[in-house]
Amino acid sequence: MINLIRNLRLAYKFVLIGLIGAVMLAVPTTIFVRTNLEATAFAQREVMGLSPLADLLKLTQQMQQHRGISAMVLAGNATQSGARQAKAAEVSTILVNTRPVLALLGAPALLTALDKAQADWQALSTAVSDKTVTGGDSFVRHTALIADVLSLLDDAANASGINLDSDI
């Protein structure tokens, strides 16, 4: 083997050294690139989860505000009726707009939970509008619905991976 290398021309010796160097660099370079591609894909998934999480946080906030305004209306403060209707419309709009961005996470359980929250919201909003619910019951139902939305928020964070650390 040594005689074979010794008898090679100088140009071929350099080519052989270059090939050995290329093989030595290929393995760590492949590992480095693969690791960075995985980190990039994870970060992209996290970014994709930001929009639904922001919508769900906004939904929680608006439902909390609706809970307070509804308590005033059900206690007899008719001047807040218009504000309650506007807030109810805002909550309904957020619920509708959240569905497509939540669907991007690819977790059907999230959409099922959102559908349940939307149905519960419609029933509660109608009950408050028709004044077929007491202030105390309204508060309890609002609080339960908000808890469901917060649970959905947690599930969406899990689905997007945003609550995980990609670097152990």
Q: For 102-157, how does the pLDDT look when each residue is reduced to its tens digit (9 = 90+)?
A: 898 888 999 999 999 999 999 999 999 999 999 999 999 999 999 999 999 999 98
Place of tokens 């149905």: 119
Q: What is the pTM of this model?
A: 0.76
Task: Give the torsion sign (CA, 63, 64, 65, 70).
Answer: positive
Classify residue 12 as exposed, middle or buried by CB count within 10 Å of its CB (0-12, 13-18, 19+). exposed
